[in-house]
Amino acid sequence: MSKITIVVCDHIHQTGLDILANDADINLINAADEPKDKLISDIIPLADVAITRSSTDVDQAFLDNADKVKAVVRAGVGVDNVDIDGCSKKGIVVMNVPTANTIAAVELTMTHMLSCVRQFPYAHNNLKLDRVWRRQDWYGTELKDKKLGIIGFGNIGSRVGKRAKAFEMDVVAYDPYIDPRKATDCDIAYTTNFDDILACDIITIHTPKTEETIGMIGKEEIAKMRDGVVLINCARGGLYNEEALLEGLTSGKIHMAGIDVFNKEPATSHPLLDLNNVTVTPHLGANTKESQQNIAIQAAENAIQAGKNISYPNALNLPIKESELPDFLRPYLELVQKMGNLSAQATRSHVKSIKITTKGEVSDYIDSLTTFAMVGILTESLAESVNYVNAEFVAQERDIKILKEKAKNTSGFTNKVTIKLVTENGDFTISGTVFGDHAQRIIDIDGYQLDLEPKGTLILFRNTDIPGVVGDIGRIVSKNELNIADFRLGRDNNAHALAVVKVDGNITKKLLNELSALEACISVTHVTI
């Protein structure tokens, strides 16, 4: 297998670069310091995957040179500088990193909120810069008992709500795309009436920038607000109409505003900067050491998985509308693709049929789960020629039967997905579920019950269940200078067992031959997820 070339177009944390550099299958090109014209003309043509930030536009010029690119990873949340439609037309999957800077953005929102109600920056400057001690000029208000309206109750908005509750605020959330229970379970009121938000003492917005949300707070909405309202925007520039915001702040209708993002950046000459009732920061939502490291790690891992056709985490242009997917489903889509890919690697033979069986609420999305499973299975043999759009057609062309079953849930799990792969060399069945906070687990392989994280380099060793096998496996792996990172064992009622051994390093033919030579061995294979 030839190496996968990943081009890093903009600066990311060194930890992410180290992950890419230490993967034996990856050829890393760090082009962050290259001139953009050279990047586009000379380096992007070499890329299988590109990692970008806000400094590199994925525009027509980029796409005209991206003949090999299969995926673009935006190391951050916003994809304003990515031509998603253009990428889709060229078959390029666009991914972002939506949760790595969540806490940083949440805490910055709270910082602006506190700064506004206590006018902290102005009191600070009055003392430190002007050397004036006038306590009577800086009477603020308290967050306690104030009503906070949150527009957008996703990863960031929901966490802002929880922290606001800790300040004993009265919180109401507006988000037509969530299950109301996400708010009410946190003792936060949920409303479908936008006027309820406009009646709040403080309003903060946490939505993506779309046609629906651009300028959603304008002159008309501000007119309905309470006199002396406080507005916060640490999400995206342009969600508040800036002319209306300026007018409201100048007239006193808006008491204070905390702004981290602007419609056009850098905003060094913006008229909002001239007002003395605005706290401003230069788009610092992700600017913490922790978030920058998290962003780099997730971007690197996503790029590797995309480059290896394992999965496309947080893909934005799949043939499924993200807004129509409940939060709980996303890890199942990723899990079922990994399960499919594992199945194909474990069998390594011509596929005759693929059967997807679902139990639980995931059954409502069996078509989407089937698509992801097919991509995971077929990419093992077809690589770049299969994607989420053409997977079903590719299967039909190869006379692969696709079967779907929604079964009654008697599994004991909230949701369960099973793939049965029928190949020329036999059948392979694998089941998985998701626990708690998106913890993906494989729970069954061919009837052997396990608790296995679908990640890493794995040896699958089937054997007769006799004493000493575990020790023999450990001895051989150690002799081949590999470290065992995890060891999972499943047993059946026929005196057989399955060991799944996660190792650090590459599996050699010599190692497999030595394991196969063990008297208890029935079969041995290896997979990389």
Residue 485 three-state SS? strand
CA gap 201, 149 in Å, rounded: 8
**Helix or strand holding residue 136 (H, E):** none
Q: What is the pLDDT of residues 427-484, one digit of tens each?
A: 999 999 999 868 999 999 999 999 999 999 999 999 999 999 999 999 999 999 999 9
Residue 212 pLDDT: 77
pLDDT score at 149: 98
Q: How many beta carbons lie within 10 A of that of residue 265, not counting itself?
A: 12
SS3 percent helix, strand, coil of the chain, rounded to 5, is: 35, 25, 40
Residue 320: predicted pLDDT: 60
The pLDDT of residue 246: 97
Q: Provide mean pLDDT across the span 414-418.
A: 95
Answer yes or no: are the C-beta atoms of 257 and 231 closer than 8 Å: yes
Residue 146 bridge partners (DSSP): none
Burial class of residue 104, CB neighbours in 10 A (0-12, 13-18, 19+): buried
pLDDT in tens, 221-231: 999 999 999 99
Is the per-residue pLDDT at 385 higher than 60? no
Q: Which helix (H) or strand (E) holds 470?
A: helix 469-479
Enumerate the CATH 3.40.50.720 domain ranges in the chain, comma separated: 1-98+287-317, 102-280
pLDDT at 383 over 80: no
**pLDDT, average across residues 398-424:** 91
> Regarding the domain delimited by 1-98+287-317, which CATH topology (the fold level of the hierarchy) does it fall under?
Rossmann fold (3.40.50)
pLDDT band at 373, cuts 50/70/90? very high
Q: Are 93 and 389 in contact, with CB atoms under 8 Å apart?
A: no
In 185-329, which ranges are continuous DSSP H helix? 194-198, 219-224, 242-251, 289-307
Residue 270's contacts (CB-CB under 8 Å, 6 or more residues apart) are 242, 262
Residue 386 has pLDDT above 80, yes or no: no
CB 36 within 8 A of CB 56: yes
Whole-angstrom distance, CA of residue 524 vs CA of residue 117: 65
Q: Out of 28-32, 365-369, 525-529, give the one with best mean pLDDT.
A: 28-32
Residue 353 three-state SS: strand
Nearest to 362 by CA among 328, 334, 388, 392: 328
β-sheet bridge partners, residue 500: 460, 488
* Among the listed residues 16, 8, 34, 10, the one whose alpha carbon sits nearest the alpha carbon of residue 292: 16
Helix (H) or strand (E) holding 89: helix 84-89
The side-by-side arrangement of strands in the sheet containing 439-445 is 401-407, 351-359, 416-423, 426-435, 439-445, 448-452
Given a cut of 70, is residue 71 above it in pLDDT? yes
Specify the residue for token string 């079969």.
Answer: 523
The whole-angstrom separation of Cα 339 and Cα 289 is 34
Q: Would the pLDDT of 309 be above 60?
A: yes
Which CATH number applies to 456-529?
3.30.70.260
Per DSSP, helices labelled H in 281-412 are 289-307, 330-347, 366-382, 391-397
Q: Are 81 and 56 in contact (CB under 8 A)?
A: yes
User: What's the CATH number of domain 319-452, 3.40.50.300, 3.40.50.2300, 1.20.5.440, 3.30.1330.90?
Assistant: 3.30.1330.90
In the predicted model, is pLDDT for residue 13 greater than 80? yes
Q: Confidence band (pLDDT; 50, 70, 90) for 70?
A: very high
311-339 average pLDDT score: 79
Structure tokens of 3? 């190496």
Query: What confidence score (pLDDT) does residue 525 get?
Result: 93
Amino acid making up residue 246: L
Residue with structure tokens 């905390």? 258
Mean pLDDT of the chain: 91
Q: Which two structure tokens, joined as six digits, stand for 134? A: 């006038």
Do the strands 49-52 and 71-74 form a parallel or antiparallel pair, or are they unpaired?
parallel
Residue ranges matching CATH 3.30.70.260 in the chain? 456-529
In terms of DSSP H, where are the helices of 41-80? 60-64
Q: How far apart are CA 183 and CA 427, in angstroms?
A: 45
* Cβ contact 55:35 at 8 Å: no
At 485 the pLDDT is 94
272 in Cβ contact with 247 (< 8 Å): no
Residue tagged active-site, from 142, 243, 265, 519: 265
Are the C-beta atoms of 225 and 203 separated by less than 8 Å?
yes
- Condensed to tens digits (0 to 9), the pLDDT of residues 153-171 reads 988 999 999 999 999 999 9
Task: Please give the CATH architecture assigned to the domain spanning 102-280.
Answer: 3-Layer(aba) Sandwich (3.40)
236 included as an active-site residue: yes
Instruction: State the span(s) of the chain assigned CATH 3.30.1330.90.
Output: 319-452
Least confident of 25-34, 210-219, 268-277: 210-219
- Pairing of β 457-464 and β 496-504: antiparallel
- Whether 211 is a known active-site residue: answer no
Marked catalytic residue, from 13, 283, 488, 526: 283
172 or 55, higher pLDDT? 172
